[in-house]
């Protein structure tokens, strides 16, 4: 279109504004229908960062639609238990949930990629893979078989390795250890003799306090501090090699997703992206202060030894090989993500790694 014809059309559009306004109201009303959904979270309200990501998403949707698309968020246990959130969404008990995909790895380990797999991608890389590396498309090919449509909706960043009642110095120290560990990581740890326990967030502290379990991982300093683990298990290990950048997901009943007007689908997708970014930013703001308070309160920071990390890495790789041999969907996603990961860590060595390493040395030397 040349400039003159553009101006002419713009002029015509301007002249017709009054008439168009009178006629437009019914069309707008149709395109903004009242939709009321329930979203069940896998998390307690006390975890304001993770539970809050669902509220951030819901508020964005409500505000963007003049309140016409209203998503009410329920904490774990209000409608269904934390670990039943995706089942409730798939069954249509609720329209959607906010959860960690890997909670459902027992149904199919392919769910794990929606959060992260052990020794998988960090938070930034996970977003690169989800949004541009084919991750979201692949995950939704899988989620469709489960009656769900999923969108990343939050990330914790690299997590801590958890709280232990006693020091863990060698691989042998893991044998017989009862540990609350989220998701698929437990299957890998079993190879090293650990006895994994899958327990929803609100139930971890009582189990650790009673001694039903010997260790528990949850998220990182800010959330762990709230749940008070340092009072009953003082050794705080890192890194959480099974959660290098854990994503949360909004999972929508597939039928309900398909019924949504396209504009509401777009708003909800944007809301999830906004919540995804917001949650990581919130953690990056809150964790530094929390780790200082935890150490002041008696937490003893301990890195996992290279021996333990290497043994866990080898156990992870052999686990993936076993699953790849029998689960074509898992293998399809694994192969795609591995190719992404190889290049992502090639680039990261040049970019953040060298920059961050230099800056960390300045930090340690008190020069920041
Ligand atoms: Ca965790």
In the block, residue with structure tokens 């999830």: 272
Q: State the distance from the centre of ligand 1 to the C-alpha of 227, rounded, in angstroms.
A: 13
The CATH number of the domain holding residue 78 is: 3.40.190.170
Its sign, for the CA torsion 223, 83, 202, 271, is positive
Domain count of the fold of the chain: 1
Q: State the distance from the centre of ligand 1 to the C-alpha of 219, rounded, in angstroms.
A: 4
Interior angle at CA 133, CA 357 and CA 91, nearest 5: 115
Residues 6-32 have a mean pLDDT of 50
Task: Name 200's Cβ contacts closer than 8 Å, sequence gap at least 6.
Answer: 42, 76, 81, 82, 83
In the block, residue with structure tokens 């076993």: 322
Q: How far is CA 37 from CA 52, 92, 265, in A?
A: 17, 11, 13
% of residues, the chain, pLDDT over 70: 91
SS3 labels along 141-172: HHHHHCCEEEEEEEECCCCCCEEECCCCCCHH
Is pLDDT above 70 for 29? no
Is residue 7 very low, low, confident or very high in pLDDT (cuts 50, 70, 90)?
Answer: very low
Please tell me the predicted confidence (pLDDT) of residue 199.
Answer: 82
Q: State the distance from the centre of ligand 1 to the C-alpha of 163, rounded, in angstroms.
A: 11
262, 44 Cβ separation under 8 angstroms:
no
DSSP assignment of 69-126 = EEEEEE-TTTSS-GGGHHHHHHHTSSSEEEE-GGGGTTT-GGGGGGT--TT---HHHH
Higher pLDDT, 199 or 316: 316
Helix (H) or strand (E) holding 214: none
Residues 45-64 have a mean pLDDT of 96
Q: State the distance from the centre of ligand 1 to the C-alpha of 82, rounded, in angstroms.
A: 14
Q: State the distance from the centre of ligand 1 to the C-alpha of 166, rounded, in angstroms.
A: 19
226, 287 Cβ separation under 8 angstroms:
no
Residue 360 lies in a domain: no
DSSP classification of residue 251: E
Its sign, for the CA torsion 3, 9, 11, 17, is negative
Q: State the distance from the centre of ligand 1 to the C-alpha of 201, rounded, in angstroms.
A: 10
Is pLDDT above 70 for 12? no
143, 355 Cβ separation under 8 angstroms:
no
pLDDT digit string, tens, across residues 98-148 = 999 999 999 999 999 999 999 999 999 999 999 999 999 999 999 999 999
Is pLDDT above 80 for 18? no
160, 217 Cβ separation under 8 angstroms:
yes
User: By residue range, what is the domain housing residue 63?
Assistant: 3-156+244-285
Residue 200 lies in a domain: no
pLDDT digit string, tens, across residues 287-319 = 999 999 999 999 999 999 999 999 999 999 999
How far, in Å, CA of 360 to CA of 339, rounded? Answer: 29
Residue 291 lies in a domain: no
Q: State the distance from the centre of ligand 1 to the C-alpha of 305, rounded, in angstroms.
A: 19
Helix (H, G, I), strand (E, B), or coil: what is residue 242?
A: coil
Q: State the distance from the centre of ligand 1 to the C-alpha of 243, rounded, in angstroms.
A: 6
pLDDT digit string, tens, across residues 203-232 = 888 899 898 999 999 899 999 998 899 999
Q: State the distance from the centre of ligand 1 to the C-alpha of 16, rounded, in angstroms.
A: 58
Q: State the distance from the centre of ligand 1 to the C-alpha of 157, rounded, in angstroms.
A: 10
Q: State the distance from the centre of ligand 1 to the C-alpha of 324, rounded, in angstroms.
A: 24
Residue 73 lies in a domain: yes
Q: State the distance from the centre of ligand 1 to the C-alpha of 23, rounded, in angstroms.
A: 54
225 φ/ψ angles, rounded to the nearest 5 degrees: -60, -45
Residue 347 lies in a domain: no
Residue 335 lies in a domain: no
Please tell me the predicted confidence (pLDDT) of residue 19.
Answer: 46
Helix (H, G, I), strand (E, B), or coil: what is residue 68?
A: coil
Task: Name 334's Cβ contacts closer than 8 Å, sequence gap at least 6.
Answer: 113, 117, 320, 323, 324
Token readout for 295 is 């150490």
Please tell me the predicted confidence (pLDDT) of residue 31.
Answer: 73
Q: State the distance from the centre of ligand 1 to the C-alpha of 220, rounded, in angstroms.
A: 8
Q: State the distance from the centre of ligand 1 to the C-alpha of 183, rounded, in angstroms.
A: 8
Can you point out the beta strands (E) in the chain? 35-41, 69-74, 96-99, 148-155, 162-164, 178-180, 195-197, 215-216, 235-238, 247-253, 300-303
Residues 236-244 have a mean pLDDT of 97
Q: State the distance from the centre of ligand 1 to the C-alpha of 182, rounded, in angstroms.
A: 6
Q: State the distance from the centre of ligand 1 to the C-alpha of 181, rounded, in angstroms.
A: 7
Q: State the distance from the centre of ligand 1 to the C-alpha of 290, rounded, in angstroms.
A: 17
Residue 223 lies in a domain: no
Mean of the per-residue pLDDT values of the chain: 92
Token readout for 231 is 């009072």
Pairing of strands 178-180, 195-197: parallel
Helix (H, G, I), strand (E, B), or coil: what is residue 16?
A: coil
Residue 146 lies in a domain: yes
């Amino acid at each position: 279109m040349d400039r003159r014809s553009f101006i002419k059309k713009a002029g015509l559009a301007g002249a017709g504004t009054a008439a168009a306004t009178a006629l437009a109201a019914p069309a707008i009303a149709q395109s903004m229908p009242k939709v009321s959904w329930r979203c069940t979270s896998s998390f307690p309200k006390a975890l304001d960062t993770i539970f809050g990501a669902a509220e951030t998403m819901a508020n964005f949707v409500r505000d963007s639609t003049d309140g016409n698309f209203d998503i009410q968020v329920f904490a774990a246990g209000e409608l269904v238990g934390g670990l039943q959130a995706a089942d409730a969404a798939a069954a249509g008990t609720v329209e959607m949930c906010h959860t960690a995909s890997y909670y459902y790895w027992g149904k199919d380990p392919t769910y794990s990629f929606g959060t992260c797999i052990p020794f998988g991608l960090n938070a930034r890389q996970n977003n690169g893979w989800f949004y541009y590396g084919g991750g979201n498309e692949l995950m939704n090919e899988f989620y469709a078989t489960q009656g769900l449509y999923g969108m990343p909706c939050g990330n914790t960043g690299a997590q801590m390795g958890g709280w232990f009642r006693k020091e863990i110095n060698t691989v042998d120290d893991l044998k017989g250890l009862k540990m609350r560990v989220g998701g698929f990581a437990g299957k890998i740890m079993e190879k090293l003799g650990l006895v994994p326990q899958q327990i929803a967030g609100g139930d971890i502290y009582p189990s650790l306090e009673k001694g039903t379990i010997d260790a528990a991982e949850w998220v990182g300093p800010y959330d762990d501090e709230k749940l008070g683990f340092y009072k009953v298990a003082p050794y705080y290990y890192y890194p959480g090699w099974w959660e290098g950048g854990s994503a949360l997901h909004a999972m929508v009943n597939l039928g309900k997703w398909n019924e949504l007007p396209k504009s509401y689908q777009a708003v909800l997708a944007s809301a999830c992206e906004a919540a995804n970014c917001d949650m990581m930013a919130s953690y990056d703001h809150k964790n530094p202060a929390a780790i200082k308070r935890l150490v002041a309160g008696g937490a003893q920071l301990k890195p996992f030894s290279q021996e333990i990390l290497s043994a866990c890495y080898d156990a992870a790789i052999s686990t993936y090989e076993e699953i790849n041999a029998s689960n074509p969907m898992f293998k399809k996603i694994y192969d795609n993500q591995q190719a992404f990961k190889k290049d992502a860590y090639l680039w990261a060595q040049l970019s953040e790694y060298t920059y961050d390493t230099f800056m960390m040395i300045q930090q340690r030397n008190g020069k920041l």
